[in-house]
């Protein structure tokens, strides 16, 4: 088999078929609901504004960019991206085991790493589509707030936010896929990694923060949550450089994908063993 037949055809088939199955099915409902949560909030906020007028006379409280920035830092960064990776990233591979369809992939001569890469790319595309719909709609709606003209023109911010968040989806998703493949209590471990370790490691003195994805994402994310005095005293960690952050996040993803393909190659992942006959 040539390279095209060995890599390209299986890869495109995996990406297109899995993306279609993920996006246009009931499987997209919960991730879609999660991704559109900030959008729902913004729509509600905007409708109420139109009906009852500006919520405050304070121009800062009605600053479109500040609202957007806060949503990015609090919602997308800390909640939406980790939750999407937990829901969709973890299921990238384990879904095939649980649904008993893994065998159909396993019995094909396509390289295992290509199968994993194809499925992972499909996860990235699916979650990116959900993220873009939500984030860009939020941006558009907020830009209709009176006096948000400058904000509307600054599309560079939106584009940067998008790729940083997608990078987060890649890194978190790959780690979740790895956890899903290797651990029995994967949801528990995934929740611990995302919402305990990643969220609180920055408060541990020393270099623990360097072993979190959040640290590298925050280093390149333009929006930061305002910290309390205690928080800023405890987490006085200098940010990593942009290059180091991007490289580290990509490395985390690549290593996780590699380790997942090893499991696919060497682990017995046959489903339905209880029905042995």
Partner 1 sequence: MAYIEIKNLSKWYGQVLGISGVTARIEPGVTGLLGPNGAGKSTLLKILTGQIKADTGGATIGGIPVWNHIKLYEIVGFCPDMEKFYERLTGLEFLTYMARLHGMSKSKAMQTARDTLHTMGLDDAVNKRIGAYSKGMRQRVKFAQAIMHDPEVLFLDEPMQGMDPLGRLQTAELIRDYGQRGKTVVVSSHILNEVEDMTNTILVLNHGQLLAEGDVHEIRELIDEQPRHVRITTPERRKLSNILIGFPEVQTISFEDAPDELMVQTMSPDAFYQRLPDLVMKDKITIEQISTLDDNLESVFDYLVK
Residue 236 touches partner 1, criterion: CB under 8 A: no
Residue 184 touches partner 1, criterion: CB under 8 A: no
24-63 binders of partner 1 (CB under 8 A): 24-25
Residue 272 touches partner 1, criterion: CB under 8 A: yes
Give least dist CB 120 to partner 1, A.
Answer: 16
Contacts of 205 (CB under 8 A, 6+ apart): none
113-142 binders of partner 1 (CB under 8 A): 115
Taking CB atoms within 8 Å and a gap of at least 24, the contacts of 250-257 are 250/167, 250/170, 250/171, 252/171, 252/174, 252/175, 252/213, 253/170, 253/171, 253/173, 253/174, 253/175, 254/174, 256/174, 256/175, 256/177, 256/178, 257/113, 257/116, 257/117, 257/120, 257/174, 257/177, 257/178
Residue 1 touches partner 1, criterion: CB under 8 A: yes
When the beta carbons of 40 and 272 are compared against partner 1, the nearer one is 272
Stretch that binds partner 1, among 48-56, 174-182, 197-205, 264-272 (CB under 8 A): 264-272
Query: Using the rule CB under 8 A, which residue among 56, 228, 243, 277 binds partner 1?
Result: 277
Tell me the HSE value of 253 on the side-chain side, using a 13 A CA sphere.
22
Give residues in contact with partner 1 (CB under 8 A).
Answer: 1, 5-6, 9-10, 12-14, 17, 21, 24-25, 99-101, 103-112, 115, 265-266, 268, 270-273, 275-277
């Amino acid at each position: 088999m040539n390279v095209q037949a060995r890599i390209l055809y299986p890869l495109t088939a995996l990406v297109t078929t899995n993306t279609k199955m993920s996006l246009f099915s009931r499987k997209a409902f919960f991730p879609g609901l999660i991704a559109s949560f900030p959008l729902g909030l913004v729509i509600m906020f905007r409708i109420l504004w139109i009906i009852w007028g500006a919520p405050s006379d304070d121009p800062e409280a009605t600053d479109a960019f500040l609202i957007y920035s806060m949503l990015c830092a609090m919602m997308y960064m800390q909640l939406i991206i980790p939750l999407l990776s937990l829901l969709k990233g973890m299921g990238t591979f384990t879904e095939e085991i649980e649904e008993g369809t893994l065998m159909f992939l396993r019995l094909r001569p396509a390289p295992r790493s290509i199968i994993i890469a194809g499925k992972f790319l499909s996860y990235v595309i699916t979650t990116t589509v959900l993220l873009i719909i939500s984030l860009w709609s939020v941006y558009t709606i907020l830009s209709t707030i009176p006096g948000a003209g400058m904000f509307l023109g600054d599309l560079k911010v939106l584009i940067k936010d998008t790729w940083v968040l997608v990078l987060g989806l890649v890194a978190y998703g790959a780690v979740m896929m790895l956890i899903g493949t290797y651990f029995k209590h994967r949801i528990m471990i995934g929740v611990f990694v995302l919402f305990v370790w990643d969220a609180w490691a920055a408060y541990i003195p020393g270099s623990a923060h360097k072993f979190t994805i959040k640290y590298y994402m925050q280093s390149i994310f333009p929006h930061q949550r305002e910290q309390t005095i205690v928080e800023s005293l405890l987490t006085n960690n200098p940010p990593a450089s942009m290059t180091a952050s991007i490289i580290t996040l990509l490395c985390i993803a690549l290593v996780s994908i590699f380790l997942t393909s090893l499991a696919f190659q060497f682990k017995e992942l046959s489903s339905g063993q209880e029905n042995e006959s």
